[in-house]
Amino acid sequence: MNYFEFYDIPEAFLLDEKALKNKYYQLSREFHPDFYANESEQKQQEILQLSTQNTNAYRTLIDTDLRMQYILKEYGLLEEGKNELPSDFLMEMMELNEELMELEFNFDADKLHEIGEKSNGITAQLDNDILPTLQRYPDLHGVTKEEALQEIKTYYLKKKYLLRIKETLSKFAARS
């Protein structure tokens, strides 16, 4: 059973996190192993599995990135080695990576700040561009679910790429 079905909520990229938390706590109480101590070994195992599934579902669905990754994987859209990014984005990232390599040899705090601002700006633009699709999903008008999922997949992969750049920036910042 997938996590959305487990929580009896519609599949969505944007969730009511308070309602999700309430459902998690409700199921945590319902499936707490201590309440089943006098049950059969089989029933105790079943409850333990449900309790574990509840925890895993909550950890996945409460985190925006993990939720996105989960939905994309459910549709078979995130496959190892088959996740391509648009060439224009890769060219833009190549420029940022070259600037980062220059910092390796000739550190400049102002340049580090500038690269950080660029990557933050790109991330903000990506977030802004995808928001309407995330808000409408799964009730899409004018695009198919498959098209929306492909758009979200591209966004997810770009965001992951930018996260690696930000991690590199953090390492530079820590050294300075």
User: Do 125 and 164 have their domain in common?
Assistant: yes
d(CA 127, CA 122): 9
Q: Please name which of 32, 37, 66 lies closest in space to residue 52, comparing C-alpha atoms.
A: 32
121: domain range? 87-175
Model confidence, pTM:
0.88
User: pLDDT at residue 40 above 80?
Assistant: yes
Domain tally for the chain? 2
> Per the domain annotation, does 31 fall within a domain?
yes
Predicted pLDDT of residue 174: 81
> Per the domain annotation, does 49 fall within a domain?
yes
User: Do 52 and 119 have their domain in common?
Assistant: no
> Per the domain annotation, does 143 fall within a domain?
yes
CATH number at residue 52: 1.10.287.110
Which residues lie closer than 8 Å to 106 by C-beta, 6 or more apart? none
At 58-73, the pLDDT tens digits run: 999 999 999 999 999 9
User: Do 15 and 53 have their domain in common?
Assistant: yes
